[in-house]
Chain A
Amino acid sequence: MGEIAMLHDVSKCTACRGCMVACKQWKNLPADKEVFIGAYQSHRDLGPYTLNLIRMREDYSGSDMKWVFSKFQCMHCGDPACARACPEYALRKEINGPVSHDDDKCVGCGYCVTNCTFSVPHIDEARKKSTKCDLCADRIEKGMVPSCAQTCTSDAILFGTRHEMAALAEKRLAVLKEKYPNACLYGVDKNDGIGGSSMMYIFTDKPSVFGFPDNPEVSKSLPFWKDYAQPGGKILMGAAAIAVGGALVANSVIGGKSSHKKGDGDHE
């Protein structure tokens, strides 16, 4: 069957947020103590206990209200910056799509946090581990679909083979284009700046409207590191490249280790 993927059709999302609860329920994650910020938005960002977030944004043009909802979680990039940046080989792009995270190997250094194109991973300070969505690998292994996709009330989150999801996305896009001229797919094209992703979207407007970079890219300085770091990678690097990779570790540290977001220790 090949690669798998998840697809969020934002035009169908009603922000019931069943996916957020189902995720926490399955993974036994505690609730965060969030404060009311004057909007329906529940959390400002993902966190170590919130791996999946529905972002809600009101956009009023003076005559028309647009209330846009999108699911925010690990993109499972085709070319994941996090895996390239991880010095412990804890993160890896699996051939079937998900970017896996090995808790045993993770030391919570935060390079993934710094380098992720989408600022997804968060360090759980209590455990000193990086956290992010794993696409419910345990469920998939048992023939169950990821919790969020299963619970979706409005068929907005779909899960299946990447091939099926991509075909469905193309079909939906053709329909949505009539009403939303800026509608686009995201993560479907493997030639985009992140090598496509296993978390794909159908957006009714430009990606930036939903809080995503319009042209996502993996930092130019990272590829060598990945090729060095991934023993299963396509190119096995020689000593010279290893030296370059070493330099990049330093880079990453300078770039962001000190700016790790604090894990939200204040939870219920």
Chain B
Amino acid sequence: MKVNRRSFLKSAAGAGVGLSFGGLGFNLREAKAAAREFKLEGSREYTSICTFCACGCGMICHVKEGKLINLEGDPDHIVNEGGLCSKGASMSVIPNSGERVKTPLYRAPGSDSWQEITWEEAIERTAAALKKARDEHWTAAETENGKTYQVNRCDAASIVGGAQVHNEECYLMAKMARTLGLVYVEHQARLCHSSTVPALSGSFGRGAMTNSWNDLKNAKVILIEGSNAAENHPMSMKWIMRAKEAGACVIHVDPRFTRTSKIADIHAQIRPGTDIAFLGSVINYVLENNLYDKDFVLNHTNALLLINKDFSFSEGLFSGYDELDKKYDSSSWSYRLDGFGKPLKAASLDDPACVFSKLKAHFSRYDIKTASGITGIPEEKIRLIAETYAKNGPGTVMYALGMTQHTVGVQNIRCFGVLQLLLGYMGKPGTGINALRGEPNVQGSTDFALLFNYFPGYLSSPTHKQQTLAEWTKSYGTFRAKFFINLLKAWYGDKASASNDYLYGLLPKMNANTNYSIYRIFETASEGKMKFLYIMGQNPMVTSPNLNLVHKGLCGLETLVVADPFMTETASFWEKPGTDPKTVNTEVIFLPAASFLEKEGTLINSSRMVQWRYAGIDPVGAAKSDLEIIDLIFTKIRDMYRNEPSENAESILAAFWDYPKQDMAEAVLKEINGYDLKTGKLLTGIAAQKDDGTTSAGNWLYSGIFMNGENLCKRRNNRTDPSGLGLYPEYAWTWPGNMRILYNRASCDATGKPYDEANKLVWWDAAAGKWAGYDVPDVPAAADGPDTPNGQRPFRMSGEGLGRLFLAKYQDMEPSGAPRDTSYVTADGPMPEFYEPVESPADNALHPSVQINPCLKYPRMPSMQLIGDRREFPYVLCTSSITEHWCGGVYTRNVPWLNELVKETFIEIPVKLASKLGIKGGDSVNVRSARGEIQVKAMVTERIQTLIINGQEVTVVWMPYNWGFKGLSTAASTNLLTIDAGDPNTWIQETKACLVNVAKA
């Protein structure tokens, strides 16, 4: 029985009492009084979307006399049904807060104070500083091995931010940055989920969460690992509870017993950084006990494909390792190919050369006893989890930063890919891999590529070796080249044509051997090489690891520009306690940004659902939206170059940039959706894009967001769900093409018949001669049936069209011989292998000679990147966030209602360690790592237990990282302690496992 609040409301309305509860006889004295002064009387409503994790919860905002007087969950929203967690529920504070910055501010070099400036001056200064960095540090060309390459880039200016702002803002920022020749273009996704994209796209073809929040209810077993979903994605709990009511079992694997463990049926405490050992043993258990889904494995994965005979793995290293370079030559990680370049297939899974056999051999070392010794999880619990998870499908995985933030982050997540493919838990309701994205628009800022290695739509950034579009296509295939042409048409308009290579030549070309990640922005800045940094909606002085290095970097800049609704630790780094402002010569420009409640535009939640936010109130003070700010900066720079022609201005002057002041967000969204340039009409979808320059699309994935002039992301039909599975196809819009569950072709067998008729998503409709379904079928062409090659590409976005248990090096060729698409290969091996964290309390039990990820390059800056020894720093520190505060805390620490719930940074210490050190709950303790020391309060708890790791006791402590020295709630920043060693695929830092010492203060 489901008595939800909405039905209660509806029944009230249905009883003919309208919105009054007179029918209940609720004629109280109070109610009479309330009627006189009902809070919402005379107010108007508008809807918005929450600005914290990427659940994408709907909000209803009430405005009276221009003031936001109330904000609550939107009962008609399909994700939250009226609910909001403590953070979301507190947001009416934001436009009313006295802490908001209301005018642009300027801090001169060496000054100890801010001065108010006008917007004109702020934009002028910003544009001038950016132009100066470009003009003085422009690299037109560079030479390698005697050959000169045109590169058109500036390595001395950088952009950071995007996960907090709208898609349109991310898009314009990417367009501005790239047309200005910037390659240091980064944001929070690098630090939170960058490892997700290669792991998931390598396994399946796309890098995003596969299913949806609503779909969690369809699972029968839910594995939550490396995620504290109850705290950091609170609304997921609504759907987990629905699953539990229907009998689902929830398994939680985490270093602590958290609020998520509280609702789990099985909880296992794992040592941070050992997920591959644990999941490897589950994979091994599935393989050894024939618990895999044979039909799925045979038809939908690359299990049968034959692997190159030169491939090997021994003592922790795959074939092709170059010890000097710490790099693999991946050529042996390939298939045996036929004469047409297609992979050869084994007759059965028993063929020792096929992927399946390689996988089986590889994971055979991960027996439960070994895994227990490494992870600290008791053997019987690993067995219970493996049995429960494998035998109670459909099963889904939920993970977050507990998996991503490791030097083996990508391979951690790859384990899920392997496990889900083996069990057939992909493409069906209640299955998939739910990468829980943690910022409101981090999926969008990733889609729009505020990451150095991509252009919008996951088009790989051109390197110096790809001087022409043809050269780029040789690496990434014709399938994606078409989208690149559409992007260039959106960026350069009429000026881009086939005859000038669509002005591809003007784009900045990264040096193929250089890491341009956010870590390098601060490292190069600390060396004086980075001159200019623009930050929007990000607070690296709290959220980045190894904060002393971040601070040194900020001190080394010439100009820092920060756009944010509140003052941040990053913008005011020069007044950090212990810093003498006189010694800091960075000029700082602070631009007051409108909050999410004060501007319109779209954002996309973790389930790829794009939603529209309305601007219901005016920006506070003189604040402006990031969209308007970006537009002002770009047009100012363009004016400067128009007046002062320069050889590095060609791309800027060629860019199409002419946006209306009114409804700018929708105009930009239309550019993103794309146009048929012959008719001037909006494109109707990805399929409408052409490769001949007659169409444009700023991000191919978003084509089709407009249909017949309607902006589909504004849709709010929460009634239509014919499948009953929670797809709601007419609610907002999801990419690609409104598809709700990715890879849904895999929910059918080879003949196109659903594996589970009662919970079917799509199917081959033989009578109609097309794929049909409740969801948009994930097939290359709707009319290509199961008897065609296209009908057997359940993972069509990978080169092979199959789910990839083994990440083989593979390029799918067109009959013409041109590469069509290229499958992603991880840098550190085609299958996951366990390595210890850089700072670890234990030796690698699998291969003592290869302790850590062999491809890891660290330290990059030895003087600032010290590695702690376990004798000096005996305890493992794990860090993460909490329900009540969010990320850098810029919003939440300015909300008194949240500060009363959680007041300051603290450290969770197991009772056993606390008694040894004489620490009681509430005591002050000093926590020290090789990189810094801070003082925080102790929380002594039994929720973390001492682990036995290969016979030795290992103690784990945990801290939230959300505090700094600004805002209404100030406390020590945990990231002073954390390590910035990074995964070799994406450089994501190991904030989940470093070593510390703890002492009573």
Contacts and interface: CB of A to CB of B under 8 A. Distances in A.
A31 interface: yes
Contacts of A34: 900, 903
Contact of B9 (A33, A43, A144, A165): A144
B677 to A, nearest CB: 46
A122 to B, nearest CB: 16
A165 B900 contact: no
B901 interface: yes
Interface string A123-141: 0000000000010011011
User: For A2, A94, A143, A168, which residue has the most chain B Cβ atoms within 10 angstroms?
Assistant: A143
A141 B240 CA distance: 32
B313 interface: no
B82 A151 contact: yes
B942 A20 contact: no
Contact of B26 (A17, A141, A152, A268): A141
B269 to A, nearest CB: 9
A92 B896 CA distance: 33
Given A149-B5, A155-B238, A67 B259 contact: yes
Interface stretch (B88-96, B301-309, B627-635, B656-664): B88-96
B943 interface: yes
B537 interface: no
B994 to A, nearest CB: 24
User: For A37, A65, A100, A141, which residue has the most chain B Cβ atoms within 10 angstroms?
Assistant: A141
A142 B8 CA distance: 13
Contact of A38 (B18, B90, B940, B942): B940
A252 interface: no
Contacts of B75: 150
User: For A21, A101, A165, which residue has the most chain B Cβ atoms within 10 angstroms?
Assistant: A21
A151 B74 CA distance: 9
B398 interface: no
Contacts of A213: none
Contacts, number: 227
Interface string B1-42: 101110011001101011111011110111101110011100
Contacts of A32: 900
A259 interface: no
B922 A31 contact: no
B31 A141 contact: yes
B547 to A, nearest CB: 22
Given A60-B942, A150-B72, A153-B237, A21 B257 contact: no
Contacts of A98: 28
A101 B30 CA distance: 7
A18 interface: yes
Contacts of B906: 36, 38
Contact of B88 (A18, A96, A102, A137): A18
Contacts of B240: 154
Interface string A148-168: 011111111011100011011
A153 B238 contact: yes
Contacts of A69: 259, 262
A15 B28 CA distance: 32
User: For A38, A134, A145, A165, which residue has the most chain B Cβ atoms within 10 angstroms?
Assistant: A38
Contact of A42 (B21, B259, B263, B902): B902
B237 to A, nearest CB: 4
A153 B235 contact: yes
B89 A21 contact: yes
B86 A35 contact: no
17 contacts: A1-B24, A18-B88, A18-B89, A21-B86, A33-B900, A36-B922, A40-B902, A67-B261, A140-B21, A143-B17, A143-B18, A150-B82, A154-B238, A154-B241, A154-B263, A155-B242, A158-B4
Given A2-B24, A31-B899, A154-B237, 11 more contacts: A16-B85, A16-B86, A18-B86, A37-B921, A38-B938, A38-B939, A137-B26, A143-B20, A155-B4, A159-B8, A167-B1
Interface of B: 1, 3-5, 8-9, 12-13, 15, 17-21, 23-26, 28-31, 33-35, 38-40, 70-73, 75, 80, 82-86, 88-90, 92, 230-231, 234-235, 237-238, 240-242, 257, 259-263, 267, 883-884, 896-904, 906, 920-923, 937-943
